[in-house]
Amino acid sequence: MITRYDFVTRFGGVIEHSPYLAERAVDAKIIPEPLTATGIHTALVTMFRAASPAERLAVLRAHPDLAGKLAISGKLTADSRQEQAGAGLDRLTAQEHARFTELNKAYVAKFGFPFIIAVKGLSKDDILEAFEMRINNDRDAEFSTATAQVEKIALLRLQSMLPET
């Protein structure tokens, strides 16, 4: 049986900068043994969905801009850095970077949180296309889409950490 400390240490960052969700999952005794990506994902998502709207908004705001200042300065979490690099966001042309910067600013101004997308398996062009489409959503639709993307990112991270069986 994994201890609370060990669980939070290992999985507290799966949902970006939100170890309290892992703590709540342990405290609620909803972590199934043996540990699997699906089981932990279900527990973390249960806590994320039960969180207050302000807490869910804080989770969204904890995500970095895509190809933004944190990426340039090397201050992304290891997971975010690897995910963005895998999509080619660390190799943008000056023109592409300018477009991402413009969209990041407009998106945050409109919605109050950064654009969030599970980038694994996507190219920079796929991401840019989704960005340009989603910026036209209303806030409720985009909040829902962004939280679904947070959940997808968490599952992908867990699948890279744990076996399914």
Q: Which residues of 13-32 are buried (b: 16+ CB within 10 A; e: fewer)?
A: bbbbebebbbbbbbeeeebe
* Residues assigned a catalytic role: 63
Contact (Cβ atoms closer than 8 angstroms) between residue 119 and residue 84: yes
Burial of 75 (0-12, 13-18, 19+ CB in 10 A): exposed
